[in-house]
Structure formats: structure tokens, C-alpha cells
Structure 1
């Protein structure tokens, strides 16, 4: 799946807004690793980017094609820099925060409160039942 010109231009515009210039980037192509078989291990399709002024590093190996990985690495780098500049959380950070929140253990007081609400609800339901005569 090739990258459309519109997507490429949108990324370039976003990079320009954040003052990320190609001259400030160090780009290397390294051997991939992980699943994908022999092809992944033999070709240098994994892209490593480093933004010199901020020191932010990104490594991308999501696709088999080098060109797609270059695009994805730049996109990830702009997101990281934007989050650092504006203090906004990236989509990935928001998802991680959401998972952390879901996994967090409830306090004893909160558990007691929830249990009490359940008991009240149960009592209300029992009052709705028909009386056996």
C-alpha cells in the first residue's frame, strides 16, 4: 500500500509547523528483527530516526517496505515532538493511561461503597416482588 501524495504533504506540513527539518534528522536503515521470516532478518527495512535538537529517537519496523517505514517513523516522531512541545498526550499514551486506569485496584473504601449500593439496589428489587400468600 503506497503512501498517497496528500498524506505525504500533510505530514510535511505538520513537520514544518513544528519546525522539524530534514537537516535536523539522523536517519539510518538497520536490519529488522522479530517475526517475518528470513526476509525481515536480511533486509534493512527498519528505520531509525533521531531528532538532534530534542534528542527524541524513533525506530519503526511496522511494514515490510522501507518507504512506508520512513513515513511511519516520521509520523511517530512528529507526534512525540508535538506531545513534548504542547504537553498533549499522544493517542498511544492516552490508550496506555486508559489501560492503567482500568487495571488500577480499587481502594477498600470504594469497594465498601460499591457493595453498599448493590445491597440497596437488591433491597429495592426485593420490595418490587410479589408477596407469597
Structure 2
């Protein structure tokens, strides 16, 4: 219930090999740890994080040539107060965006639910097999 994530979550080197992350009811957090820097992340489930207003990029100088969320296959975003979820120039330099401009190039399952303030929706990945959109 703290205002932000723990220090070890923000140190990508300590969690570099994670493939699955599930965060539930972190109601006071406003931003997320730099999960886009995890090269093996395949599943990200975020639920009940009502103060998170955007998926924020925190790339450092060394990461500029690495495409974020390269292996992400499952993405669940439930009850987040998301205003923007868009691949923009702020997120990536042009050369690291997928060819089709998609934010999550390997995503096969995406569920968005109760993100009542979602303003923009990124391009859908070509590999997507399941899309669930509820109460948006």
C-alpha cells in the first residue's frame, strides 16, 4: 500500500531474469517500475492500481537500442487509471519501434478492463489471438 514500488523493483539488474510479473492492489503507486527493461518478460498482469496514470518509460543511455517488451506475450491491465498507452517518440527512438509501429510486437493475449480514463489505444500487434476490452 506504499506510494511507490520497492527499491529492488526499480533496480532492473536484480530482477533481470523475471518472465512473469503480477501486481495487485498497489493502490498508492503513481508510476510503475521500469519493467520495459526486462528482456525476458513474457507476462505482465497489473490489477487495482488506480493512481497509475501512464505506462512510463525509464530507459537509460545503455537501453536506447533495445526494444522494450520484446518478448511480452500476455498483458492484463485491470483497474488502472490510464490516460495514455501509446508508443510515442517519448518512449522510443524510431529505430527500436516494431516495423508495424506496435508497442508490444509479440503480444498474443491482451485484456483491458476498467481503465475508465484511457484516452489513446496503440496499434494492435499482428500476432494477437485474444483481445478482451471491458468497461473502457
> If the TM-score is normalised by the length of the shorter chain, which range does it land in?
under 0.3
State the structure with more CA Rg: 1
TM-score, scaled relative to structure 1: 0.21
Structure with the higher helix share, 1 or 2: 1
TM-score, scaled relative to structure 2: 0.20
Structure with the higher strand share, 1 or 2: 2
